[in-house]
Structure formats: C-alpha cells, structure tokens
C-alpha cells in the first residue's frame, strides 16, 4: 500500500469543511439552530423573510420588499426564458430557468430568493394548464407563492403553514446542496451559478427529492393497518423507505416534529388532507421495521416525511414539492455563498488514485489504437 495514500472518508461523513454562523445541526440531540435560534422558536413565530434577513445579516424590514422585488423582476423575465420552463420535471425547469438569469440582475440573496419562487410557481402553473400569475409584492413571500401556484388567495392559516415550512428548511448545516453552492462560490464564481449547482444536488431522491415518493408510499399503503406489511415488503425487496433516515440525525429529525405540528394546527383550523393519521401510523411501522433491521443505526423520520404531508395539505401537488423546498433553501444557499466568499479559500479536496499505473517508458497499447 502506498504510504502517501490516506483513507477515503466515504460520503465525507463526519468531515468538517467550514466554520459557519448560519446554522448548526446536532444529530445526537436532534437540535437545529438557525442563526442563533432553535428552529422551533422561529417556525410559526417569524416570517420566512425575517428569518432570511437573519441569515443574510440585513435589516429584517428591508428583506420583505427586496424579496418581493425579486419575484416581480423574475416575472418580467419569463418571456425571455424561451422553453426553459417547458420541462416535465419541476427541478429541471427551475435549474434551467435560474440559469437564464444574469448575476448582474439577480446576484443578491433577496433577488435570487424572490426569483426562485416566481420560476417554481410559473412552472407549476403551466403544468396545471394555466398561465403564470404575476406576483403581488404587497403579499408575504409564502402567501404570494401559494397564490401564484394554486391561483387562489390562500388565507391566513394556509399562508402561515407554508411560512412555517419555508422557515424550517431555510438552512441546514453542510447538506449536499449547500456544500455544492459553497464549492462553486469558492472558485470565485457567481451566486446564480452556485444556485444552479445547488438545485441540481437538491433534485436527487437522497436529498430533496423524497417528498413526492413519500406521498406515493402513503397512497400505496392506503390504511394504517396495511402499513407494517407494506414496509416489510419494501425492506425485503431491498428498497429504501423514503422520508426515513438521515446522515446526521440519530434521533427523529426536529424539523419533522415542527412540520407535523404545523399540519396538526392546520387540521385544528379546519384544513386537512386526511393523511396525518395515516402518516403517523406509517412512520411508526417504518421506524419499528428499520430498528429491527438496523439495530445499531437509528433510522427515523426526516424532514421530508412531514414535508410531504404538510405541503399536500396546503394544496400543492406532489410534483411541486421539491421546487418548494428549493424556494425555502435558496435563502440558506445564498447566505453560505456570501460566507464562503469571505473566507477567500478554494475548496479543493484530494482523491485516492486506484487506477492503473503508467507503463514505464511508453504508452499503454490501447491508448495507441485510433
Ligand atoms: N430505508 C431503508 N434502509 C435505509 C434507509 C431507509 N430510509 N436509510 C438508510 N438505510 C440503510 C442503508 O441501506 C444502509 O444499509 P446497508 O448498510 O445494508 O447498505 C444503512 O441503512 C446505512 O445507511 P447509509 O447509506 O449509510 O445512510 P446515509 O447516511 O448515507 O443516508 C439517507 C442517509 C438520508 C440518504 C438515507 O437514510 C436515505 O436514503 N433515506 C431515504 C431517502 C430520504 O428520505 N431522503 C431525504 C433525506 S432528508
């Protein structure tokens, strides 16, 4: 074994790549701190724009109009996006749409955050067979996003439900998409490029792509009594249970609890999809089956499990859930890009070469063939 080789840390698990003032994930105790506050104390108490202002270190009073301006300006660009939003998958559309924006016009955290909501809503609207709706800058971000997607003024309870969601997912330590954004920023590239890369990472089912499949799972199970057998069947077939397990948390993801409560509050206000009790039964069955299969590795509900239940209750379609996640997480991406820039340091890890050694004094025969 080559003495220079160092062991590869699979998935970079446990590797610390940055100091950050933005958020802290305590996986052992199940605690998430966002800009100095426990997530439970923010969701439902502060608006998304106010929490974004904490992350961006700007005056909270300015965040709301700046984000609204971003929504409006992105809407004005829709006509120049060509067929960018014309994709079957919302995350493909969002990635292509954001890539069309210039960093000169949308290169601030508030502008790109507003733009992501407008583009996601425009894609969702078109998929629903209706023309995109213009933003209303007098509305809060959550209320306006819901209106732009569904075509209806959401009312206070629904707007508060989405606001709690956007706050809950605004930032989350060095998750895969945030890391992507920081790597791009570390090269000296621009905010729009970093957000495009982050959207690509968030699309994957192991990161932000799980809520749709969680709803598919709830539909397939149908009733609480069917949960245990269905879950066992999936595990026997070697498939993962979506919405369960986390790289960092060894207890239930605290965001799952926040979103479960937000769904319960909506039910108290008379808004329900009827899925919460089924979801609780499926979660219990999945946690039990995973505990039996992996006694050493706690695999419990993560944020995506109750993202699916809450956003479905709010009237969003399962195809729209990952884009809505991006509409919240973009606040964190932008804050991390600014923080990374301040370090001025390129992120450039190493790798351990396991390919063939060159033949001394010549080329490999296959390299010579045309
Ligand atoms: N269902 C079934 N088995 C799971 C599982 C799940 N949800 N999550 C992890 N496992 C299993 C893995 O298959 C692995 O088993 P193996 O050793 O037999 O291969 C073992 O548990 C350890 O998992 P590992 O791949 O090391 O976990 P990770 O830290 O890399 O993965 C997730 C974390 C989130 C990617 C993973 O839990 C997962 O795929 N969850 C489902 C997708 C999801 O909900 N994503 C949203 C995350 S917020």
pLDDT band (50, 70, 90) for residue 367: low
pLDDT at position 6: 77
Q: For the whole model, what pTM was predicted?
A: 0.94
pLDDT band (50, 70, 90) for residue 253: very high
Distance 346 CA to ligand 1 centre (A): 30
Residue 365 pLDDT exceeds 70:
no
Residue 246: active-site member: yes
| Summary mean pLDDT of the chain | 95
pLDDT at position 7: 87
Residue 88: active-site member: no
Helix (H), strand (E) at residue 23: strand 23-26
On whether the CB atoms of residues 106 and 113 are closer than 8 A, the answer is: no
Residue 10 pLDDT exceeds 70:
yes
Residue 232 burial (CB count, 10 A): 16
Reported as a single tens digit per residue, the pLDDT across 267-313 is: 999 999 989 999 999 999 999 999 999 999 999 999 999 999 999 99
Per-residue pLDDT averaged across 192-212, rounded? 94
pLDDT band (50, 70, 90) for residue 1: very low
Which two structure tokens, joined as six digits, stand for 34?
């966002």
pLDDT at position 3: 43
Percentage, residues of the chain above pLDDT 90: 92
Distance 15 CA to ligand 1 centre (A): 18
Q: Is the CB of 247 under 6 A from ligand 1?
A: yes
Give me the phi and psi of 266, to 5 degrees please: -65, -40
CA distance 51 to 338: 16
Which two structure tokens, joined as six digits, stand for 43?
């969701």
Q: Is the CB of 300 under 6 A from ligand 1?
A: no
CA distance 176 to 182: 10
pLDDT at position 221: 97
Per-residue pLDDT averaged across 131-151, rounded? 98
pLDDT band (50, 70, 90) for residue 369: low
Number of H helices, E strands in the chain: 17, 3
Per-residue pLDDT averaged across 235-251, rounded? 96
* Annotated active-site residue in 246, 260, 283, 336: 246
Q: Is the CB of 25 under 6 A from ligand 1?
A: no
Ligand 1, atom nearest to 244 Cα: 7
Q: Is the CB of 328 under 6 A from ligand 1?
A: no
pLDDT at position 263: 97
pLDDT band (50, 70, 90) for residue 5: low
Query: Nearest to residue 72, comparing CAs of 133, 31, 126?
Result: 133
Residue whose CA lies nearest to ligand 1 atom number 24: 247
CA distance 85 to 67: 21
210, 245, 255, 279: residue to mutate for ligand 1 pocket, most atoms within 8 A of CB: 245
Residue 2 pLDDT exceeds 80:
no
Q: Choose the weakest-confidence range: 1-10, 85-94, 147-156, 319-328.
A: 1-10
pLDDT at position 361: 75
pLDDT band (50, 70, 90) for residue 366: low
Reported as a single tens digit per residue, the pLDDT across 23-60 is: 999 999 999 999 999 999 999 999 999 999 999 999 99
Reported as a single tens digit per residue, the pLDDT across 83-101 is: 999 999 999 999 999 999 9
Q: Choose the weakest-confidence range: 43-52, 151-160, 351-360.
A: 351-360
pLDDT at position 370: 52
Q: Is the CB of 302 under 6 A from ligand 1?
A: yes
The strand order across the sheet containing 31-34 reads: 23-26, 31-34, 37-38
């Amino acid at each position: 074994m080559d003495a220079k080789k160092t062991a590869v840390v699979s998935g970079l698990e446990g590797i610390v790549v940055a100091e950050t003032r933005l958020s802290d994930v305590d996986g052992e105790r199940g605690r998430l701190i966002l800009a100095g506050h426990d997530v439970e104390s923010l969701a439902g108490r502060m608006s998304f724009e106010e929490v974004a202002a904490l992350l961006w270190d700007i005056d909270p009073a300015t965040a709301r109009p700046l984000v609204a301006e971003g929504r409006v300006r992105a809407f004005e660009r829709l006509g120049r996006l060509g067929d960018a939003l014309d994709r079957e998958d919302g995350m493909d559309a969002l990635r292509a749409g954001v890539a069309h924006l210039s960093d000169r016009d949308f290169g601030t955290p508030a502008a790109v955050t507003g733009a992501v909501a407008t583009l996601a809503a425009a894609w969702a609207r078109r998929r629903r067979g209706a023309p995109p709706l213009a933003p209303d800058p007098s509305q809060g971000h959550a209320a306006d996003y819901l209106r732009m997607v569904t075509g209806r003024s959401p009312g206070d309870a629904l707007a508060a439900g989405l606001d709690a969601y956007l706050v809950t997912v605004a930032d989350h330590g060095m998750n895969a998409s945030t890391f992507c954004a920081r790597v791009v920023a570390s090269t000296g590239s621009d905010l729009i490029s970093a957000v495009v890369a982050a959207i690509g990472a968030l699309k994957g089912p192991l990161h932000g792509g799980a809520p749709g499949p969680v709803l598919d799972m709830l539909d397939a199970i149908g009733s609480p009594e069917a949960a245990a057998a269905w879950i066992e069947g999936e595990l026997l077939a070697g498939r993962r249970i979506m919405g369960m397990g986390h790289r960092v948390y060894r207890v239930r993801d605290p965001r799952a609890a926040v979103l479960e409560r937000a769904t319960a509050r909506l039910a108290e206000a008379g808004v329900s999809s009827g899925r919460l009790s089924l979801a609780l039964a499926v979660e219990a069955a999945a946690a039990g089956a995973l505990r039996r299969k992996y006694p050493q590795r706690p695999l419990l509900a993560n944020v995506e499990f109750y993202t699916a239940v809450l956003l479905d209750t709010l009237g969003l379609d399962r195809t729209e859930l990952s884009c809505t996640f991006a509409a919240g997480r973009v606040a964190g991406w932008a804050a991390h890009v600014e923080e990374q820039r301040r370090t001025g340091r390129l992120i450039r890890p190493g790798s351990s070469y396991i390919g063939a050694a060159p033949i001394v004094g010549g080329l490999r025969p296959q390299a010579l063939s045309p």
